[in-house]
Chains A and B, each alone.
Chain A
Amino acid sequence: MTRKASLALEDGLVFQGLAFGAEGEVYGEIVFNTSLSGYQEILTDPSYKGQIVAMTYPHIGNYGINEQDEESRALWAEGFIVRELSPVVSNYRSQMSLDEYMKKHGKIGIQEIDTRKLVKHLRDHGAKKGVISTVDHDPESLVKKARESKSIVGADLVKEVTCSQPYEFRETLMKGFEWGEPAPGKKVFKAVALDCGIKTNILRKLVQHGFSVTVVPAFTSAEEILKLEPDGVFLSNGPGDPSAVPYVVETVKKLIGKKPIFGICLGQQILGQALGATTSKLKFGHRGGNHPVLDLKTERVEITAQNHGFVVDLDSLPADEVEVTHINLNDKTLEGFRCKKYPAFSVQYHPENSPGPHDSDYLFQRFYELVEEANGAAV
C-alpha cells in the first residue's frame, strides 16, 4: 500500500508522496481543478489528454467509480495528483475504487503531498510540464525529465482522442439524473458532431434537446460532413492547443454560413480561428465548476464548468462579424460569442457540465432554435 511516488516540475519543484494506481512514469502539463466533486468525469474528459491533473479538494475517491459517470471510453488524463485517496468507497452507485480504476487503465497517481503548495505554485508561475514517477525518485533526474518532456503547446492531441469512425449516438440523460428543459414534442433535427475529444454528456444533451447525432472524426472534411446532410454542426471540446489543428479550422471555415454551428470549448477556439481571431495560452487555465460567466444580453450570471488552458483573444475578434455574448467575471476573458451574419455561436465553458452546475442548458436550446430557424428559412 505504501509505494513511493515522486512528482517533479520542470522548474525544479519536487514532491515526494505515495503512489496509487499503476506503476511507471508519466509526463504531462500539470494543471489543477477546483471542483469538489466529479473526479471521474474529469479523468475521462478527453480534454485532459496530455495533462496531469491535481485536485484542490483533499479527499478524492470517496464515492468510487461507476460506469454511468464516464465522459468517454477511456481515462485520458496522464496522471492524477490528490492530497488523500479515500480508503473506502461509499456510494450506492459505486462499482470500483478509484485506485482499481486507475490500475485498470494503467494510470499513475500520487497522493499525500501538499497539493495546496503545488496549486499556489502553478497559480503564481503558470502551468508547468511535469512528471510523476513510481520508479525514479531522484529529484535532479526527474526535473531534467520534466524539462525535456514534450510541451502541449503546438502539439496535435486531437488526433489521439478523436474517434476513428463515424457513429450514431442515441442515448439521452441517465434516468433519475435528467436536467434541463427541452421544449417538448418537437421535430428531431440531425446534427453532426465533429469529435475533437467530445464528452459524452454533450452528446446526451444534444439528443435530449431534439437532435439525432452523428459523431464524426476530427479529420472529417467539410465535404464529407455536408454529404451527411446535417441540420446543424456541433464543434466539440478537446485537448491542447487550437493552433495545432489547422485542418479542423479549415473544415469549419467551409461550414460557416452553410450550416448552423455550435461550438464548446475547443470548438469555440476553432470557430474563433476560422473567423480570423487568434488564440493564446492562459497562465494556468480555468478548471473547475465555479466560474462566474456573465451573459451580456440578459445580464444574468451563470456558474459554469470550465476546462481550458487556451482562450480566444477578445480583441482579436472581428468586431463587424462577431458579437461577444459572454464574459468571465473572474478575469474578464472571452466566454462566448456569436456570428452576426451566420447562424454560428460558441462558448468557452461547458454547458453540458459533468462535472459542474446546470446553469447553461439554454445554450442547447439556442442551438436547436438556430437550427429550426435555419431550416424554416430553407423551406
Chain B
Amino acid sequence: MPKRKDIKKILIIGSGPIIIGQACEFDYSGTQACKALREEGYSVILINPNPATIMTDPETADRIYIEPLRVEFLEKIIAKERPDACLPTMGGQTALNLTVKAYEKGIFQKYGVELIGAKYEAIKKAENREQFKAAMLKIGMDLPRSDFAYSVEEGLEIAEKLGYPVIVRPSFTLGGSGSGICYNREDLEKTVRLGLEYSMVNEVLVEESILGWKEFELEVMRDVRDNFVVICTIENFDPLGVHTGDSITVAPSQTLTDKEYQRMRDAGRKIISEIGVETGGSNIQFAVNPQDGRLVVIEMNPRVSRSSALASKATGFPIAKIAAKLSVGYTLDEIPNDITKYTPASFEPSIDYCVVKIPRFAFEKFEGVDGNLNSQMKSVGEAMAIGRTFKEALQKGLRSLETKRAGLGADGRDKVFDRVLKTREEYLHFFEELPHNTDLLTKVCQSAGKPREDRIFYVKYALMAGVSIEEIYRRSFIDPWFLAQMKQIVDMEKKLAAAHGQAEAQRQLIRDAKRMGFSDRQLGFLWDKTEDEVRHFRRALGQEAVFKLVDTCAAEFKAYTPYFYSTYEDEDETIKTDKPKVMILGGGPNRIGQGIEFDYCCVHAAFALKELGFETIMVNSNPETVSTDYDTSDKLFFEPLTLEDVLNIYEREKPIGVIVQLGGQTPLNLAKALTDRGVKILGTSAEAIDAAEDRDKFKKLLQKIGLRQPANGIARTTDEAVRIAGEIGYPVVIRPSYVLGGRAMEIVYDEDFLRKYMKHAVEASDEHPVLIDKYLEDAVEVDVDLISDGETAVVGAVMEHVEEAGIHSGDSASVIPPFSLAADRVQEITEKTKLIAKELRVVGLMNVQYAIYQGQLYCLEVNPRASRTAPFVSKTIGVPLAKLAAKVMVGKTLRELGFTEEVKVPYVAVKESVFPFVKFPGVDIILSPEMKSTGEVMGIDEDFPRAFYKSQDGASCHIPDSGTVFISVKNRDKERIVPIAKGFHDLGYAIVATLGTAEILKKNGIPAEVTRKIAEGHPNVADLIRNDKVKFIINTPNGKGPMLDEAKIRSLAVSYNISCFTTLNAARAALMGVQAVRGRGLEVHAIQDYHAMLRQDKAILSGK
C-alpha cells in the first residue's frame, strides 16, 4: 500500500535521559525513525530533553524541542506545531507512559492528533497486566498463574494460594522497576509496597514462580496487511529470574527444535494481532519449562526496545527504520532490504554466526547496593559480540566489557572470592588445588548457581575443577548446551596451559584456540609470553583474523553493506577500496562516566569525515548506539575495543590514522599502545595525552602558564598518603590516577577515613598511584570545552556548575553562560584555557575543569579529549564541535571551517544530571566526587531560573507549585538556608523541618513545623513522605553512608519519587525557578529557533 498522504507532520516522542533500562537504543531507534520519515517527505517534530543524542541534532528533525517529557510541555508543542500524527513507539517506556497520560487527558483528541504505530488501546492492553492477561487467555496462551493485588494484604493472600516463591511485577513501570522475587512473607510485604508505589496505576501482579525455566525473546514485526515476520529469536543464557537486560543473551535461539520454535512463532503472531499493534515492531518474552517444553508468555512490549536494537545489530535488519515506514502505511514487501538491495524487507533474517550480548554493571559506584541479579534491571550498559560460534562470541563479548578482562578468564584478572590469580603459576596452582578443597569448591559451586555480575566466571571455575555439567545445571539452571560450550573452552584452555614452553604444541593449538575466541593476551598468560610475542608468533604462522559480513541472509544473497565481524576462518570478505580511510574508535559499553555523549561525538566524526571524502571505519561493541548503525559510517566493525582487535582491523584496512579522542577513556587508554606499534593517532598526540595525565608534567605545564593548582601530592602507600594529607591539610580530595568518572574519588576529612580509603583505592588504581589534592570547600566549579587546530583555539563554552566543587562534574548541573561569574573572570578562563591547548598542542577537543576559590582561579583537571559536555555545548551554541574536531584532526583549520570566535548565547542552557538511585533501593543519593549519574537532560530558556526549572522537570525532579517542603540542613548551612526557606514560604509553601533547622527558621520569622527524625519514633519524617504529606525535600548531608537517618530519608524520597535537593545551590536555583515560573508560565521553542537567534552564518550551523 502506498504511504499515507493524509498526514504530513509527525511528532516523535523521545525517551529522555539515559537511565537504567533506557539507554542509547532509543536514540538509535528515534534517529532511524526521523530519517526514515523525512526520507518519505514527512515533516518530523521531536520532543526529547536529552542533548547527548543524535536525534536532537538540528539536522535530524524539522523541529526539535529539547523540552521536558511532561504532558504540559507536550501539549504546548502540539498546540504550536499542530502535527497530524504522533509516533509514540520510538521512545521506550517513557514515551509510552507520556502518550497514555496525554491521551487520558484528551490532548491528542483535542488537537486531532492520530496515534500511529500503536494506538492507545493497544498500549494499554500490552502494558496493563490485567488486560494483557485477559487478552492472552482469550487467544489460548498459557501464562504463569497469577493474580492482581492492590494492597499488601491482597498480595499476601495471592502468594499463599500460589505458594512461594512468587514474583511481584508492578503495572506500568520502567525497565521492570519495583519487580522482585519473594521467597517469604517478609519479602512479599516489602516488594508489594514498593511495587504499588512504582506502578503508575497502583497495581501489582503476584505470579507463580517459573524461576529456572529457559527464557526466550522474539522480535517481531507486523504491517497494516497483517503480514508478520520474526526478525530475531534470542535465548537467554541466564534462566528466568534475571531481568533480560541483566542476562547474557544469545541470538539466535540454540536449544529449540523447529517444532518448538514454530510454536513460539505462532504464539508471537497471535499475540501481536490480539494486542492490536497494527504496524511496527514488538518484543515478546517467553519462558519454556526445560522438563516438558511448556511454553508460557511473560510479557510484550508494543514498541521498539533494547532488544530490538540488539536484534537489529545482530541481524542487520533495521527494525526501527522499517517500523517507522510501516507506521505511515507501507507494507513490508514494499520496503527493500538495505543490505541485499533487491530482496524485500518481508522476510525473516537468517544468520550464519552467533551473537552474544553481555550486560555491564556499575555496582562499585554505589555503596551498599545489592549485587544479586533479579527481575529488576541493574546493568548500565551492554556489549555485543559476534563470532562464528558461541564460544568465540562469548569470549569476544567478555573482553568487550571494559572490565579489563581478555575473555573467559586466564588473563591475570581472575579473582576467586578474595584470591587474585595474577600469574600463570598462581592460576594453575589454584585450580590444581581446588578439587581437593571441598569447602572452597562448594562455595565456588554456590556462586556458579547465584546470578551475580561475575557468575559466569564461577561457572568456569567449577568446570575447571571438574564439576560436572549436570551438577552446575542443578545449581544454576543454565542450559547444558551453554555449559558444554564453556566446557569446550575450559578443555582447550587446559591443553593450551599444557603447551607452555612447547612451540610445536602451541603451533598445533593456536588456530583452534583462536577459533574459540581466545585472545592473544590469554594465550600470553598461559604461555608466559607477552601479548606482542603471541601476536608475532601467530602472524608468523599465518593465523590472522578474517572479517565476515553481517548480511541478514546467511550469504544467500550478495550484500552491499559493509558490516563486519572478525573470526578465524578461511575467507576474508573485506573490500579493498582506494579512498583514504580514517578509523574511529568508539566507547564500548555504556557505563557511568562513559555513555552516549561519546558515541555522539564518534557519530559526528563519521559524518564529518564522510563530508570531506574520507572513508570512515567505525569500531565499537555497543549494540545500543547510533555509531553501530551500519548507516553511520562507510564500514562498521562490530568488535571489542582491545589492542589486539583494533590492530587486526588497522592492519587489514590500513587507514591514514585513528581517532581516539572522541570515544571517551576507552580508546584514549589505547592511544599509547597503538602509537608504540606504529599506529598513527590523528589529532592530539599520545604524548600530549600523557602530559595531561602525568602529575609532574601537568604541574610544570600549569606553572608555565601561570595557573594555580590546589596543593597536591602523590602517594603510593598509606603512610605516604597520610603524610601528604597532613602537609596539605584536611579536607583533601583523593583519587586513583587514570580513572573514569571519578571512580573511587573521595573527599576525606580526617586520617581515620584516609587509612580506610587507602585499602579500597589501591584496588581501584591498579598499579597506578593515588592522587591527593587540597579540597577547595565551597568553591565555584567551572567546566570549559575547547576546540583547537593546533594554531587557532576557540572555547566552545564556559560552563558554571550549580553545585560546588567537590561534586563530580558529571553529576553537577552546569550552566551556559555562567550565571554568577564576572565577564573578566570568564575572559581569564577563556584565555588560560587557550594557553593550555597551545602548550599541549591540542588538535581536536579539550576539556578543562577549574575552581574559583576565595577569589582565585585554580585548574583542577585537563582532559585532551572530547568531554561528556561536548554534545550539550554543541546543542547550546549551535556549533557541532565534534564534527569540527574530526575535521581539524585530518588537517582542516578552524579558519577554513569558519569557527574562530566564541559564541555568545542570548539565552541560557542548563545541563542537569540524572541518577539511577530508584533502581538501587537503600543507596544514599548524596553527590560526591564519585560520579553516579547515568544520563543528562538540558533545559533551555531565556534566563537561568527558567532553564533550571525546565532542567529539573526534564530530569523527573519536578517542583510542585504548592504543598509542603521538608527542610533539614547540616549545621554549616543553617544560616544560609534562611533566605531560601523564606523564599519558599513567601511563595506559599508550608515548611516542615527537623528540630535544629526549624529553630533557626523560626528565629528568622519563618514558620516551620517540627517533625521527628526516623530514629526518634513515630510520626516522623518518613511517615510524612509515605503519606504524601511532603512534596519535595531540601536536605544537605552531614555525613555519608546508608546507615544514617538522613540517608534513609533521601532514599525514601527516591522510592516515593519526591524531588530532593542535596545542596544549597541547587535549592536556591530551584527557588529562583519557581519564582520565575510563578511570574509567567513557561514557553516552548524549537532548538532551531534558538540557533536562529545566534547568527546568520548557516554554514557553521550545519558544520560545513
Contact = CB atoms under 8 A, between A and B. Distances in A.
A296 B348 CA distance: 20
A66 B257 contact: yes
B343 A301 contact: no
A34 B353 CA distance: 12
Contacts of A220: none
B111 interface: no
Interface string A18-46: 00000000000000101111101100000
Contacts of B331: 299, 301
A174 interface: yes
Contacts of A358: 262, 265-266
Contact of A83 (B252, B255, B332, B389): B389
A177 B256 contact: no
B215 to A, nearest CB: 15
A59 B344 contact: no
Interface string A286-305: 00111110100001110100
A177 B348 contact: no
- Best-surrounded residue of B349, B485, B487 (most CB of chain A within 10 A): B485
A329 B229 CA distance: 14
A150 interface: no
A90 B481 contact: yes
A57 B554 contact: yes
Interface string A101-113: 0000000000001
A356 B389 contact: no
Contact of A58 (B293, B346, B389): B389
Contacts of A36: 233, 252-253, 261, 350-351
Interface in B238-276: 252-263, 265-266
A186 interface: no
Given A38-B258, A114-B569, A117-B571, A292 B481 contact: no
Contacts of A69: 257-259
A353 B548 CA distance: 30
A288 B348 CA distance: 10
A179 interface: yes
A327 to B, nearest CB: 10
Interface residues of A, number: 59
Nearest to B390: A59
Contacts of B254: 59, 62
B650 interface: no
A353 B348 CA distance: 15
A119 interface: yes
A289 B569 contact: no
Interface in B552-602: 553-558, 569-571
Contacts of A176: 263, 293
Given A36-B252, A58-B389, A292-B346, A116 B265 contact: no
B291 interface: yes
A124 to B, nearest CB: 8
Contacts of A83: 352, 388-389
A354 B225 contact: no
A119 B347 contact: no
A92 B349 CA distance: 27
B229 A303 contact: yes
B226 interface: yes
Contacts of B570: 15, 113-114, 117
Contact of A303 (B343, B348, B469, B557): B348
B290 interface: yes
Interface in A61-87: 62-63, 66, 68-69, 83-84, 86-87
Contacts of B266: 179, 358
A115 B258 contact: no
Contacts of B558: 123
Contacts of A357: 262, 265, 348
Nearest to B229: A303
Given A34-B350, A57-B252, A290-B348, A120 B343 contact: no
B121 interface: no
B227 interface: yes
- Best-surrounded residue of B226, B293, B548, B555 (most CB of chain A within 10 A): B555
A50 interface: no
B833 to A, nearest CB: 52
Interface residues of B, number: 59
A91 B255 contact: yes
A330 interface: yes
A93 interface: yes
A260 interface: no
Contacts of A291: 347
A90 B255 contact: yes
B484 interface: yes
Contacts of A92: 290-293
Given A56-B554, A58-B354, A84-B389, A292 B347 contact: yes
A116 B258 contact: no
Contacts of B333: 292, 294, 301, 329
A62 B481 contact: yes
Interface string B471-514: 00000000111001101100000000000000000000000000
B140 to A, nearest CB: 11
Contacts of B290: 92
Interface string B1013-1033: 000000000000000000000
Nearest to A298: B225
A135 interface: no
A59 B262 contact: no
A34 to B, nearest CB: 4
A228 interface: no
A88 interface: yes
A56 B480 contact: no
A355 interface: yes
A289 B347 contact: no
A325 B668 CA distance: 60
A181 to B, nearest CB: 11
A57 B556 contact: no
B571 A114 contact: yes
A288 B259 CA distance: 15
A41 B262 CA distance: 13
Given A116-B571, A117-B570, A93 B257 contact: yes
Contact of B347 (A35, A120, A290, A356): A290
A32 B354 CA distance: 18
A62 B480 CA distance: 10
Given A41-B258, A57-B350, A330-B343, A116 B225 contact: no
A330 B337 CA distance: 10
A201 to B, nearest CB: 10
Nearest to B294: A176
Given A114-B571, A117-B571, A300-B227, A56 B389 contact: no
A116 B550 CA distance: 11
Contact of B332 (A34, A89, A113, A301): A301
Interface in B7-26: none
- Best-surrounded residue of A290, A354, A356 (most CB of chain B within 10 A): A290
Contact of B352 (A38, A58, A90): A58
Given A63-B255, A66-B257, A90-B479, A116 B555 contact: yes
A36 B349 CA distance: 10
Interface string A324-359: 000001100000000000000000000001111111
Interface of A: 15, 32, 34-38, 40-41, 56-59, 62-63, 66, 68-69, 83-84, 86-93, 113-117, 119-120, 123, 174, 176-177, 179, 288-292, 294, 299-301, 303, 329-330, 353-359
Given A300-B226, A301-B346, 12 more contacts: A36-B233, A37-B256, A38-B257, A56-B556, A58-B389, A63-B256, A86-B484, A87-B484, A91-B257, A92-B291, A119-B555, A303-B229
Interface of B: 225-229, 233, 252-263, 265-266, 290-293, 331-333, 343-344, 346-354, 388-390, 469, 479-481, 484-485, 487-488, 548, 553-558, 569-571
5 contacts: A34-B553, A57-B554, A59-B354, A83-B352, A301-B332
